[in-house]
Structure 1
């Protein structure tokens, strides 16, 4: 079920699902880009195509790898596995001089769309990599843009991987905000805590202002401090400043460093206004500071773990 209306103020919203999280933006907002990784596999955006074209695409890639020579004189292609009629896994050397690292690419066709996943494994973990890829392809399904699954698993653009167990999961997405052509929201999550050399957000931003020196007078700090979003304790830093075209815009950031576990990842959410248009022209934001902060609060407060129904014991992996 998709959340189309905020029951408190009747403001229409669109809910976006990324990984195991949800975030609400004004209705009509559109996903404009994303990078996804699941269980160490990189996920490509699905492509619309028929089954015959899917088979031709897999065959073309296999033929290329079979006819490309490894430095040893053998083909780059190591193996082709067909887990089922609609799936294929190609195993090849990572590059023509590789002797240890292999590349695995998994393909699946479902509901008129072709999905592909790629990962690198060394030869000592060949069988584990194949098992992981088979499971990923088996658990995959097509997901319409506004479908919010109620079962546990990982959302990505156009797809869903059902799995009650958290894997090594990460993503970064950009969402263009409806009604504000100069504004977008970015959401990132990382599987474990941010690198230990990174200091908390407010410390780093304070150093940036010091480095700017006199230029810092053009940066207006609107709000800064600790902020908890749901169960996630983090910090926010909100400024208004000139953009690259000299026009004023906003840069709002909230992040939490995570607790070093898969289900308590590092998270970062940003709101940017005044960015360039599709032709690269600078834009003046239409939002006042107060309007931008109100939008920020509504978006940030909507971020949450996706609610799920209970998983029957018979479906829980052993």
Structure 2
């Protein structure tokens, strides 16, 4: 997902001072001509929303929910879903472990369309246990992964393995498909192609890249993560000031367009907007806004970036079509749109219609039990 910044100076700068830099279009013709902006595409990531020019597309993503890594959903028949899982289970059972009869430790079938298991990855591994959860819904397979330590549990508590297995089963039971264009009304966590319904904020992370429609050289990145997992030693503006000092004479080619404190909705943060030449000698933009958060689940650290002039798929430098003014206008529109997704009351949710275009409940093959796409236990 992460693409290296194409222009050389800021690539060096960001790699030196931040642990979360994104390795990770025709600016809207109306914008270029100073006409009113067209409609937008809204992306749901985690519990947040952000608007970008209509037609922009998700080009990379990474999602973690309650210690679980969410893999990209994959089209699969119900027969293949069970056949492939059973084959994996059989392979794990057949291979011995130095301390256990086999690599397989636990295998469960919570429902007809979900499976969870824990296993040793190698025959001599003893430090970490792999935990995986699978669910099939209407022709799509969803996979969650995690790791559990093997240290003995504190007296009166369950093992880390059982704790992760429990989280896995709970998340799978509350998971449902989601169209990229669907903005759920109930509280929960959005990821590419799916949604986990949950009124409570868990330990949640995500990072996405969105390619800007009509601009092959431009993309927006959105990140949120628990503060304690990526604490910065200094705020953004202090770090960027140190970058310019570090670059010395090279800093003369960097033009800072705007820099200072900026509040986005309820989030107090800082922004730094700069332009510099890329490796092809063409100027690009690196716009960054971030907040350290407040150390709670629902106030995570946040980082939003707009990058222009990055390399194409063949690694060739690209020239951005956006002037500094147009890039800043686009940035302000995108950044100001970032917000927590509003949710409806439980009473209203009981009577709402399913989202347009969502698959309707289908009878699960073999089991004969109906499993609605939006079901949650």
Name the CA distance, whole Å, in 2 between partners of 1:53 and 1:155. Answer: 26
Task: Give CA-to-partner distance per residue, 1:246-274, whole Å, 9 cap, x none.
Answer: 22100000000011110000000000000
- Extract unaligned runs of 5+ from structure 2: 1-35, 151-158, 351-377
**Are 1:83 and 2:110 matched, yes or no?**
yes
For residue 106 of structure 1, what is the aligned residue in structure 2? 133
Contact 1:70 1:96 in 2 (8 A): yes
Output the CA distance in 2 between the equivalents of 1:116 and 1:196: 29
**Greater relative CO, 1 or 2 (CA 8 Å, sep 6+):** 2
Structure 1 segment 183-198 matched on structure 2, within 5 A: 183-193=218-228, 195-198=230-233
TM alignment of 1:1-318, pairs within 5 A: 9=36, 11-72=38-99, 74-99=101-126, 101-123=128-150, 124-193=159-228, 195-311=230-346
Secondary structure, in 3 states, of the residue corresponding to 1:147?
Answer: coil
Unmatched segments (≥5 aa) in structure 1: 1-8
SS in 1 for 2:86: helix
CA distance in 1, matches of 2:347, 2:237: 44
**What's the offset of the Cα at 1:238?**
0.4
Moved more, 172-181 or 115-124: 115-124
- TM-score, normalising length from structure 1? 0.92
Name the CA distance, whole Å, in 2 between partners of 1:73 and 1:133: 23
Secondary structure of the structure 2 residue equivalent to 1:244: coil
- Helix, strand or coil for the counterpart of 1:64? helix
Normalising by structure 2, report the TM-score: 0.78
RMSD: 1.9
Q: Which has the higher strand share?
A: 1
- Distance in 2 between residues matched to 1:139 and 1:116, nearest whole Å: 13
